[in-house]
Amino acid sequence: MKKILVCLLAALLALSCFTACSDTVIGASNDGSTGAGGAEEAITLNGDSAKYAGGGVSINGSTVTISAPGEYTVTGTLNNGRIIVDTGDNPSNVTLTLDGADITCLTDSAIYVAQAKNVDIILAPGSTNKVTSGTEADLEKADGTASGAAIFAEDDLDIKGEGTLQVCGYINNGITCKDDLDIKGGTITVLAANNGVRGSESVSITGGNLAITSGNDGIKSTVADKAEKGFVEISGGTIAIAAGGDGISAETSLNISGGDIAVSTTGDPTAVSSKGIKANTGFTVSGGSINVSSTDHALKSAVGMSITGGSFTLSSTDGKGLSAEEDIVISGGDFNVIAVDDGIESATAVTIEGGSFSVVAGNDGLKAGEKGTGFEEKVGAVTINGGSLNISACADPIDAKAQLLVNGGSVLACGTSKSIKNFSAGSAQTFAACSISGSSNDTLTVTAADGTALASMAAHYSFNTVLFSSPELLSGSEVTVSAGTASVNVTA
């Protein structure tokens, strides 16, 4: 952990936030003023003190407590204190606009929402803001057991606006919300010893520009004991994550419909979960751009996986590209997968309805069914009904424990099997399969009898088996499969 955090700190040295914090003193609620904090009535921070001319706020040394609903603007620097929101037994809505605010706490959360119905943190247009918990020195002793976060909310929290925010969670997490956390806008940079962004009941990202460097998970939801909670949803925004643990981890379901997402994980998968994106009860992607470079599996679902669209660039140095414990169904999207293990793997079934695929796998290219999973022997079907697939595998190009059906689409696959596993003559589309020896970096081509090029790709591993199927291929026709200086004539 220490080594990872030191590296993360070096990468984000520009985010240095030096701080101190006094003991927390929660001010008593005053007369219930709505605290309409306009620019002329901003909470002004001044080193180790603060001032405010409106109602609904109490100040005790360097601790500012907002106790009434309303809109409050915060500006200035607080070197040794906290902003606390506590609206008491009748939780109310509070809007906190950060407009050139730099808030630091040495031992705890710099912004703490103790009691409220919902808190909006708005980043004022053109403003630069910082929120810090602890100091850089705390990264050396961080072990993931500390509590709190630089921004910690017991209730719903929304972050939006057009300004910038740097969050330094040197003690533990960057941003933590015990309820629903929504990020809707702003340019937000998070450096965290533990988790970067954590919403216990949910995390929803619809906009903004979010960059996270974390010693553990980048974005995380944690609650599964409430109905329909524990999810992560991403529909927009730009997200960049460098994580020592998982990049994005959903305790229940994950739904990505948009956004530009880049995830890098660096943890040792034999010691810590270091998957790119994972979910436990549902994994759905319908759009967006997803780029994952992971030491563990790039995409992982503890149940099934449904993908209908999106652009995917996935690599894993010690795991699989896409992996699910139940059915994987893909009907659209562009996929570039490079994995040291299987490219696309399901314990039960893989169905390809459409999409464009380039799969390079250090083990099997497509795989369905796994020995020792407890399923019946014939579980494990690969069905290709459409799409365009180029597969270069070090082992089986396609390994279906029960049955392989090619009913549509274009498939060119090579590997080192003696045969394509469980290929079924019941496939609706004509195919050609042959044995031919080729080397890594050979160009594999398939041409028709009249010389028309039907398919080609560059092999990444040595191979001795080739499978080709295409709507253009007629039963009984002859094709030539070539690799390097070798060629084989095959009757479809």
- Residue 260, φ and ψ in degrees, nearest 5: -115, 110
Task: Give the end of a domain, one of 139, 159, 194.
Answer: 194
Q: Residue 1 and residue 314: Cα distance in Å, rounded? A: 25
Task: Report the relative pairing of strands 453-458 and 443-448 from DSSP bridges.
Answer: antiparallel
Task: Give the end of a domain, one of 171, 194, 217.
Answer: 194
pLDDT, tens digit, 9 for 90 and up, residues 322-378: 999 999 999 999 999 999 999 999 999 999 999 999 999 999 999 999 754 444 455
Residue 268 domain-assigned (yes or no): no
- Widest Cα–Cα separation across the chain: 90
Q: How confident is residue 424, by pLDDT bands cut at 50, 70 and 90?
A: low
Residue 308: CB partners within 8 Å, gap ≥ 6? 285, 286, 330, 331, 332, 333
Amino acid identity at 377 = E
Please, are residues 409 and 379 in contact by the beta-carbon 8 Å criterion? Answer: no
Task: Report the relative pairing of strands 164-169 and 253-256 from DSSP bridges.
Answer: unpaired
User: Whose CA is closest to 11, among 171, 187, 192?
Assistant: 192
What is the pLDDT averaged over residues 140-146?
A: 66
Residue 28 domain-assigned (yes or no): yes
Residue 163 domain-assigned (yes or no): yes
What is the pLDDT averaged over residues 253-279?
A: 96
Residue 225 domain-assigned (yes or no): no
Residue 173 domain-assigned (yes or no): yes
pLDDT, tens digit, 9 for 90 and up, residues 282-334: 999 999 999 999 999 999 999 999 999 999 999 999 999 999 999 999 999 99
Residue 370 domain-assigned (yes or no): yes
Q: Residue 303 and residue 282: Cα distance in Å, rounded? A: 6
User: Whose CA is closest to 432, among 352, 492, 371?
Assistant: 492
With 0-12 CB in 10 A as exposed, 13-18 as middle and 19+ as buried, what is 252?
Answer: buried
User: Is the pLDDT confidence value at 21 over 90?
Assistant: no
Residue 423 domain-assigned (yes or no): yes
Backbone torsion region of residue 271, taken as left when φ is above 0, otherwise alpha when ψ lies between -120 and 50, otherwise beta: alpha
- Given 3-state DSSP classes, what are the helix, strand and coil percentages for the chain, each rounded to the nearest 5? 5, 50, 45
Long-range contacts of 7-11 (CB under 8 A, 24+ apart): 7/266, 8/139, 8/191, 8/213, 8/214, 8/215, 8/242, 8/244, 9/136, 9/139, 9/191, 11/213, 11/242
User: Whose CA is closest to 244, among 274, 211, 210?
Assistant: 274
Question: Which single residue is written with the structure tokens 């992996």?
Answer: 323
- Which residues constitute the domain of residue 23? 1-194
Question: Has this prediction a pTM greater than 0.75?
Answer: yes
Q: Residue 287 and residue 285: Cα distance in Å, rounded? A: 6
Total domains in the chain come to 2
Task: Give the end of a domain, one of 174, 194, 214.
Answer: 194
pLDDT at 194: 94
Residue 456 domain-assigned (yes or no): yes
pLDDT at 419: 60
Q: Residue 220 and residue 199: Cα distance in Å, rounded? A: 6
